[in-house]
Amino acid sequence: MSGLEPFGARLRRAMDERGPLCVGIDPHASLLAEWGLNDDVAGLERFSRTVVEAVADRVAVLKPQSAFFERFGSRGLAVLETCVAEAREAGALVVMDAKRGDIGSTMAAYAESFLHKDAPLFSDALTVSPYLGYGSLSPAVALARESGAGLFVLALTSNPEGGEVQHAVRSDGRNVGATMLAHLAAENTGEEPLGSFGAVVGATLGDLSTYDLDINGPLLAPGIGAQGATPADLPGVFGPAVRNVVPNVSRGVLRHGPDTVALRDAAERFAEEIRHTVTAS
């Protein structure tokens, strides 16, 4: 299978050219209502198309949350297919936020759904859960390499429940979150200018200096905006790895819809503020 240029290289270029910002596409019922849209397939389509039209030609990454499309069944998935295709055509990289995780042939099937170049939902990267053991992700790692795609592995998430797993200490004295970071650093060894295997690390977690975040790969950082973190917080959280951070903003941009100009302006403000913060650090 002939693949694309590696995701890490494409992401580095997009971040440098467009600014390091990921805008989430999260059409949950309350946000549809705020936009004056019905909680149905027509509302879903209008919402996702408006976001893509507003920002896909200027932000580095768009991240649709698949669950909000899946809840409408096959018609919702058809909207998601169109959303992904149109976002990529406009020049944005698409990270599918599906958080898939399983073993063997089932993990392989999940990977084929989002990472095979001919799949209707082919995305530039996929979020995955490693909590059946990092090795369970092997089919996704292999297919991502083959297709030029990437993965974002849940490592240090911002939800309070995550700590009971991610902060659990192994027999070697290293906790589970740090173990995931080490696996990703190994995947990215020798890759230039950036590896394709990233971690999800919450921007709301405060000082993470006890963790080695230098995995030579991207760090997808939810929590900017409505969850309480600001661009100014990023250097303190991520330290020297801040240049590889892809901050995710969802409601902070989406609340400005359905006006496309307002959506665009909000995304550009976040991107510029993040770029300035990263450059100055």
Query: Which one from 88, 99, 255, 269 is the annotated catalytic residue?
Result: 99
Task: Specify whether 99 is catalytic.
Answer: yes
Distance separating alpha carbons of residues 281 and 276, to the nearest angstrom: 9
Of 99, 94, 109, 96, the closest CA to residue 139 belongs to 109
Contact 153, 130 (CB under 8 A): yes
Cβ atoms < 10 Å from Cβ of 121 = 22
Task: For the chain, give the secondary structure using H, E and C.
Answer: CCCCCCHHHHHHHHHHHHCCCEEEECCCHHHHHHCCCCCCHHHHHHHHHHHHHHHCCCCCEEEEECHHHHCCHHHHHHHHHHHHHHHHHCCCEEEEEEEECCCHHHHHHHHHHHHCCCCCCCCCEEEECCCCCHHHHHHHHHHHHHHCCEEEEEEECCCHHHHHHHCCECCCCCEHHHHHHHHHHHHCCCCCCCCCEEEEECCCCCCCCCCCCCCCCCEEECCECCCCECHHHHHHHHHHHHHHEEEEECHHHHCCCCCHHHHHHHHHHHHHHHHHHHHHC
Give catalytic residue positions.
Answer: 99
